[in-house]
Structures are given as structure tokens and as C-alpha cells.
């Protein structure tokens, strides 16, 4: 087996390992699927294959989250039916109007995906509309077609209601407690692993500890970010969670990743210096696992600098976490831990004026229209999965699209050809009861759900379920034809070809290019925050603007981590350079976000208003803001950043107080680290 094959096999194995909450979530989805399937067969509701897939989409972090997402999906479905009927009524079912309707809806859905804070629902509206409007291409009475549209609402509503009922029946603990436990568990396994590295002869215990770190690193940040979103949506008391918990989640996930990479490369610590550094890291992780903060930051001597080794990167990740502000006042900190959802705008400020968002919407619109026209022009309704594929895989970067292409094709082969076609040939001829059908669907659903619970290959699990449902649940009887799985696979391939041509050949946008723009946005938001402290606007107005920046920068950094995983799917001779550049940009973003939060806490604290008035601190903020704007411009326009040297602070005496000195030193230190990262980024990609 080649080194590349061995690496991917190890990734698959790690991604399938048990993680906290994975088994319970999988079992709840299987139970929901079984109940919904029995209701479908009993009530003879058509389109069960579409409805059962929505079981995977509904959130499961808490019963209220399930209820909220379920109701939003139902509203999205009603909007899709209303749009379909509106197009048909106003145009008197004109064929040209149907095609134009697909184009307009695809454009609007794609634009809303990248301009709103609820990006999951516009694609659902888009592909549901295209599925429904396609019904009118069939020569059938209008009453029958309207009835089929209403049955479609029932087919999606039954699984959603079942999901809500199951989540309330098996309600879990508070999302705050679960998130705190998730954070604590990760720090504990890091503490144990690095403590064993610090010993000369750890033996088998170190192997077990390394495996635990690798498994939790494979879980990623998605589950913890969903828990945070639940806390925000429900406006829960965050308890003793730390300030800036959203960005801390991304920082912790990065720490887990580099620690897992270190453990995979070094089975033992061979020299005394490495063991000493591992002992320091272990002490820090143990402190964080107790939800505490090191008593004296000055005593922590982490080797920062060029970051030539993985252990250097572990220390850098810890340094970013240490640079975040501590919790000081419980009443004030609650405002800083989790931003209430009512303070988050629905539309992302400035997103409609971004030409990249318009370009993305046009590309997806073109792909959806071409696929829709092709499968009706050749009179092959079985390949209608082409349009669904466009909406499900239509992401904005070439790396992400290639990743989704590969995963969708892999999931379709496993779910549609192996499980679906295999069941039709070898199992369905011998099945004569609903019990056998339920058993088969439950088994495949569990496999798909388990795969969907991973970090890397979760999309494969979703496609296994969708493809299997498409093939096995075509009607109320056992499938007797082999054409449906073939047709659906052809539809998927058609969409992949069309999207590859549009997104990768005609109008490509590389993942590292999007990462550059995203990092530039982080730097610009940092600069805006530093300038807020110098503005003469009302205090409450400044806080409102700061909260909006805080929400955007937290989500932006989380998306940067996701994109850094997608860079691996950028093929070509510059692939290694792309991966290296993405790592630099991610580390720069973490330095920038630590700098942001230290300033944000100062701006938010009533007792620190004097920091905003001190002349020498105003001059410091102005210099930081100006330099960060230059950094953002150089990153966005792919230009070399010419540093003018580190920020030099005045002597201690003009700083007047130790409070001012600590703040100024912290700002200068984090800014200088950030400046080094931006300068090392270069302009090659």
C-alpha cells in the first residue's frame, strides 16, 4: 500500500472512531427514521425518500433546537410550494416561465446562502422548488399536480414532527453543561498525553493517550460550535464558560489538530528539552481542564518564533488561548461569553455589495439551469438528481466543490449501487413484510448516521442515506427495476461535470484565494474595532457596532478552519504550497482574533473607560489600526506586506499605570506576532 493510500485509510479509521454523543445521536436518528417509515407505509404517503432525508438535517443539540430548525424547514418548504404555484399561476404554466423560475430561484437561493446568517435554508428552498416545478413538466391534470405538491409537504413534515417528538422524549442535558464537558475532556486528554511525553519511559500508556487525542481531534469543532449556537439561540445562562467561547472553540480545535499531528509523528520524546517542553504544555492543559487560568502568565515560557516543528505549533496554539482575556466579573462576562441571537443581524453587513457573492450566485444559477434544461431536453426524468446535486454541492471554492464532488460520488456508489442495488437484487425478492423493510432501512440508516457523525467524511454519510432512499424507497412496494439507481447516478455525474466546467474551468476560485479574502476581512474588522475606541459616537452605539464585529469575526475564523481542511482537495503542482499558505493564514487569524478580543473587553468594560481616553493609548490604537488596514490590503490584493518593524512602546513612565502597561504590552506583543505571520505569507498563492 502506498503512503498516500495508507494516510487516507488512517483518516477513514480515525473518522469512524466513537466520539462523545455520537452513539446516542445515531440511535435517535435511527428511531426517528423507523417511526417515520412506518407512518409513510401506513398512510401511503408518497416521496418517502425525500422526507426521510430531512431527519438528518434537523438539528439535535437540544429539543428546542430541533423544534426551531424543524419549523424553519417547514416554513422553507411552504415557501417553495408557494413559489412553485405562484410561477405556474402567473405564467399559466408556460414552459419558458418554468425555466426562468429555476434560474431566478437558483440565483436568489445562492445569494441568500452567502449573505445571511442562516445559510442552510436557502439551498433547501432552491432544490425543493426545482423538484416541485418539475412536476408540471409532466402532462397531467392540474388538480393532480397540486395534490402531489401538498403530499410533498406531508412527506417532509412527518419526519420533522417525529424528530421533534423523539428529541423531547429523550431530552439531553443543558447545552452549556455539554459544551463545558466537551472542552474539559479535550484538555484532559491533552494533559495526560503530554504528561506521559514528559516521562522517559511511558510505555503502553502513551500509546493509549495518543489514540485518545487523535480520536477527539478527528471530531473537530462542528459539534461544539452547534452547542454554542444553541446557547445563543435560546439565550441561555452561559455559566462559567470563558469569554469569547466561539473563537476559543476554534483555537481548541486547532490545538487538538496540531497535538494529534505531533503525536502521530513522534511516538516518544527522545531528548530532555522536548520532555521539559511537554511537561510545561501538560501543566497548562491541566490548568485549562479545571477551567482555571495560570496564576502568572509571565512564568510561562513557550518557545515562539519560526514554528519549524509541530511542537512549536502546539505552543503557538496554546499561546493564542493564553492571550484571550480572562473572566473577571460574572455579571459583565455573561455579555461577553455568548452574544444573544437578537443582536445578530439576519443579513451580513456589506454582503450584497460584494462582487464575489454575486459571481457565486450567477455560477450556481447557470449550473442549475443547464442541468434542468438538459434532463428535460433529452426526456430523461430519472436524472433529476442533477439539479439536487447542484444545490447540495454548490459551494464557493474549487477545493470545497471537489471535496463535495468526491464525497457525493462515493456516498452515491455506497448507498445507491452497493446498498440500494444490492438490496434490490439479493434481499427484496425474499422480503414479504414491513418488519424486514424496517430492519433493512434501520441497518443502512445506522451506518449512514455513524459515518455522518465524523468530522472529515460526514458528507459521505448523508449521501449514503439519500442515495439508498432514492433507490430502495421508490414506491410502496419492493423495487423491481435496475434503471432507477443507474439513472440517479447518471444525474449526479451530469451535475458534477457541469459544475466542474463552470466552477473550475470557466470561473475558478481557489480555496486559498477565498482564505486570503477571509483573512483580510478579519484584519479589517480588527482595525474597525481599534478605531471604534477613538470615535466620538455614543457609548451604546459603539457597543452595538462592536457586537456585530464580534459575531462576524467568530464565524469567519470558524469558516477559515473549515477551508483549511478543504485545501487538501486542490490538486496540481502547487498543492503543497497551497496547504502551507493556508496554515500560515489560519495561524495569523488566531493571532488577530486574540488581539481583537483583548481590545473588545476593554471597549465593553465600564470601569475601563479611561483606557479609551489616555492619549498615548489612543496613539497606539491608531498605529495598530493603520498597520492592520495595510495588512488587509496586501493580503486581499496578493501583495507582499512590507513591515515597518515591530511596534515600539514608550518608556514605562509615560504609560502612567501598570494597568496601561499590561494592556499596551499585550497589544504590541500580539500585533508583532501577527505582523510576522502576514509578512511570511508571501504572494505565491
Note whether residue 3 is domain-resident. no
44 and 135 in a single domain? The answer is: yes
Task: Say how far residue 402 (Cα) sits from the centre of its chain.
Answer: 17
Q: Say if residue 546 is in the same domain as residue 655.
A: yes
Residue 636's domain spans which residues?
510-685
Q: Which three cell numbers stand for residue 182?
A: 466537551
Share of the chain above pLDDT 90, in %: 17
Other Cβ atoms less than 10 A from the Cβ of 65: the count is: 20
pLDDT per position as a tens digit, 286-322: 988 887 666 554 444 545 444 468 888 898 888 888 8
**Cell numbers for 287:** 490548568
> Phi, psi at residue 397, to the nearest 5°?
-120, 155
* CATH at 610: 1.20.58
Asked if residue 475 and residue 528 are part of one domain, the reply reads: no
350 against 446, higher pLDDT: 446
Q: Average pLDDT of 83-112? A: 91
142 pLDDT above the threshold of 80:
yes
Tell me whether residue 2 is in a domain: no
Indicate whether 184 belongs to any domain.
yes
Are 462 and 359 in contact by the 8 Å Cβ rule? The answer is: no
Of the residues 506, 527, 549, which one is the last residue of a structural domain? 506
Interval 201-215: pLDDT, tens: 777 788 888 888 988
Cβ 459 vs Cβ 511: under 8 Å: no
Residue that has been written with the C-alpha cell 439535535 in this structure: 60
- What are the tens digits of pLDDT across the range 552-607? 888 888 888 888 887 877 776 677 888 888 888 988 898 888 888 888 887 777 66
Cross-strand partners of 347: 116
Residue 125 in domain: yes
Mean pLDDT of the chain: 82
Query: Is the pTM for the entire model greater than 0.85?
Result: no
Torsion, Cα 419 425 426 429, to 10 degrees, reads 120
pLDDT at 83: 94
Q: Do residue 156 and residue 274 come from a single domain?
A: no
Domain boundary among 506, 536, 558: 506
> How far is Cα 333 from Cα 329, in angstroms, rounded to an integer?
6
Which tens digits make up the pLDDT trace of 333-391?
A: 566 776 766 667 777 777 788 888 898 889 999 999 999 889 888 888 778 778 887 88
The helix (H) or strand (E) run that includes residue 10 is helix 3-15
Instruction: State how far Cα 613 lies from the chain centre.
Output: 39
CB 30 within 8 A of CB 446: yes
* Residue 402 confidence (pLDDT) above 90: no
Do 375 and 499 lie in one domain? The reply is: yes
Q: Which of 444, 394, 421 is nearest to 56 (CA)?
A: 444
Q: What are the cell numbers at 470?
A: 432514492
65 and 212 belong to one structural domain: no
User: Coil, strand or helix: which one is 347?
Assistant: strand
**Does residue 493 sit in the same domain as residue 530?**
no
For 158-199, what is each residue's pLDDT tens digit? 999 999 999 888 876 788 888 888 899 999 999 999 999 998
- Residue-wise pLDDT for 15-40, tens only, equals 888 877 788 889 999 999 999 999 99
For 231-257, what is the mean pLDDT? Answer: 85
Cα separations (Å) of 393 from 106, 107, 169, 402? 13, 15, 34, 9
Q: Total structural domains in the chain?
A: 3
Residue 208 CB neighbour total at 10 angstroms: 13
Q: What is the 3-state secondary structure (H, E, C) of 156-197?
A: HHHHHHHHHHHHHHCCCCCHHHHHHHHHHHHHHHHHHHHHHH
Summarised one tens digit per residue, pLDDT across range 501-532 is 888 778 777 888 888 988 999 999 999 988 88
Based on the domain organization, do 483 and 514 belong to the same domain?
A: no
Q: Are residues 377 and 463 in the same domain?
A: yes
Answer positive or negative: Cα dihedral of 654, 656, 658, 663. Answer: negative
Structure-model confidence comparison of residues 452 and 63, the more confident one? 452
Instruction: Report d(CA 354, CA 113) in Å as an integer.
Output: 13
Residues 158 and 99 in one domain: yes
Write phi, then psi, for 359 (nearest 5 degrees).
Answer: -65, -40
Same domain, 168 and 185: no
In a domain? residue 159: yes
Tell whether the model's pLDDT for residue 267 goes beyond 50. Answer: yes
Length of the chain: 685
Considering the domain architecture, whether residues 333 and 416 belong to the same structural domain is answered as no
Residue 6 within any structural domain of the chain:
no
Within-domain flag for 7:
no
The residue among 277, 302, 337 that closes a domain is 337
Asked, for residue 342, whether it belongs to a domain, the answer is no
Amino acid at each position: 500500500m502506498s503512503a498516500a493510500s495508507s494516510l487516507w485509510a488512517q483518516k477513514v479509521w480515525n473518522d469512524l472512531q466513537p466520539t462523545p454523543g455520537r452513539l446516542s445521536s445515531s440511535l435517535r436518528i435511527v428511531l426517528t427514521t423507523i417511526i417515520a417509515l412506518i407512518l409513510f407505509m401506513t398512510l401511503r404517503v408518497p416521496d418517502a425518500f425525500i422526507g426521510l432525508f430531512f431527519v438528518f438535517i434537523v438539528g439535535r443539540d437540544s429539543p428546542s433546537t430541533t423544534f426551531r430548525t424543524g419549523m424553519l424547514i417547514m416554513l422553507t418548504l411552504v415557501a417553495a410550494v408557494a413559489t412553485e404555484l405562484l410561477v405556474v399561476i402567473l405564467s399559466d404554466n408556460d414552459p419558458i416561465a418554468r425555466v426562468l423560475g429555476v434560474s431566478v430561484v437558483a440565483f436568489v437561493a445562492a445569494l441568500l446562502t452567502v449573505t445571511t446568517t442562516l445559510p442552510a435554508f436557502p439551498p433547501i428552498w432552491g432544490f425543493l422548488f426545482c423538484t416541485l416545478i418539475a412536476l408540471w413538466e409532466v402532462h397531467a391534470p392540474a388538480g393532480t399536480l397540486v395534490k402531489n405538491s401538498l403530499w410533498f409537504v406531508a412527506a417532509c413534515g412527518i419526519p420533522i414532527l417525529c424528530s421533534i417528538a423523539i428529541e423531547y422524549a429523550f431530552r439531553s442535558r443543558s447545552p452549556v453543561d455539554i459544551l463545558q464537558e466537551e472542552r474539559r475532556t479535550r484538555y484532559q486528554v491533552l494533559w495526560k498525553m503530554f504528561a506521559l511525553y514528559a516521562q522517559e519511559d511511558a510505555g503502553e500508556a502513551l500509546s493509549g493517550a495518543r489514540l485518545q487525542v487523535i480520536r477527539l481531534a478527528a471530531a473537530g469543532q462542528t459539534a461544539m460550535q452547534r452547542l454554542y449556537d444553541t446557547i445563543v439561540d435560546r439565550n441561555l445562562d452561559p455559566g462559567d464558560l470563558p469569554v469569547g467561547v466561539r473563537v476559543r472553540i476554534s483555537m481548541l480545535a486547532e490545538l487538538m489538530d496540531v497535538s494529534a499531528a505531533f503525536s502521530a509523528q513522534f511516538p516518544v520524546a527522545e531528548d530532555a528539552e522536548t520532555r521539559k517542553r511537554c511537561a510545561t504544555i501538560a501543566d497548562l492543559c491541566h490548568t485549562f481542564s479545571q477551567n482555571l487560568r495560570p496564576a502568572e502568565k509571565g512564568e510561562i515560557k513557550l518557545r515562539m518564533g519560526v514554528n519549524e516543528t509541530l511542537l512549536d505549533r502546539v505552543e503557538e496554539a496554546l499561546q493564542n488561548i493564553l492571550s484571550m482575556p480572562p473572566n473577571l466579573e460574572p455579571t459583565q462576562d455573561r455579555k461577553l461569553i455568548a452574544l444573544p441571537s437578537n443582536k445578530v443581524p439576519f443579513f451580513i453587513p456589506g454582503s450584497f455589495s460584494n462582487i464575489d457573492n454575486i459571481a457565486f450566485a450567477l455560477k450556481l444559477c447557470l449550473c442549475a439551469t443547464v442541468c434542468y434544461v438538459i434532463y428535460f431536453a433529452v426526456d430523461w426524468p430519472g436524472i433529476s438528481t442533477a439539479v439536487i446535486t447542484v444545490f447540495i454541492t454548490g459551494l464557493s471554492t474549487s477545493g470545497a466543490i471537489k471535496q463535495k464532488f468526491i464525497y457525493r460520488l462515493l456516498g452515491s456508489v455506497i448507498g445507491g449501487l452497493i446498498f440500494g442495488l444490492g438490496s434490490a437484487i439479493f434481499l427484496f425478492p425474499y422480503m414479504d413484510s414491513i418488519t424486514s423493510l424496517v430492519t433493512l432501512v434501520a441497518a443502512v440508516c445506522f451506518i449512514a448516521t455513524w459515518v455522518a457523525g465524523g468530522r472529515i467524511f460526514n458528507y459521505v454519510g448523508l449521501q449514503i442515506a439519500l442515495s439508498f432512499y432514492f433507490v430502495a424507497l421508490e414506491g410502496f412496494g419492493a423495487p423491481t427495476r435496475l434503471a432507477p439507481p443507474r439513472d440517479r447516478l447518471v444525474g449526479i455525474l451530469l451535475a458534477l461535470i457541469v459544475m466542474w466546467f463552470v466552477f473550475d474551468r470557466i470561473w475558478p476560485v481557489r480555496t486559498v484565494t477565498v482564505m486570503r479574502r477571509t483573512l483580510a476581512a478579519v484584519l479589517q474588522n480588527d482595525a474597525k474595532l481599534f478605531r471604534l475606541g477613538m470615535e466620538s459616537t455614543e457609548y451604546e452605539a459603539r457597543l452595538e457596532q462592536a457586537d456585530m464585529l464580534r459575531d462576524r469575526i467568530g464565524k469567519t475564523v470558524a469558516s477559515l478552519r473549515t477551508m483549511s481542511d478543504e485545501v487538501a482537495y486542490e490538486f496540481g503542482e502547487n498543492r503543497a504550497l497551497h496547504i502551507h499558505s493556508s496554515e500560515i493564514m489560519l495561524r495569523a487569524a488566531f493571532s488577530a482574533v486574540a488581539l481583537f478580543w483583548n481590545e473588545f473587553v476593554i471597549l465593553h468594560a465600564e470601569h475601563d473607560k479611561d483606557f479609551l481616553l489616555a492619549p498615548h493609548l489612543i496613539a497606539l490604537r491608531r498605529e495598530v489600526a493603520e498597520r492592520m488596514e495595510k495588512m488587509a490590503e496586501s493580503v486581499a490584493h496578493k501583495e507582499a506586506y512590507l513591515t515597518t518593524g515591530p511596534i515600539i512602546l514608550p518608556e514605562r513612565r509615560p504609560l502612567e499605570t501598570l494597568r496601561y502597561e499590561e494592556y499596551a504590552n499585550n497589544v504590541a506583543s500580539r500585533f508583532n506576532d501577527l505582523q510576522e505571520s502576514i509578512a511570511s505569507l508571501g504572494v505565491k498563492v
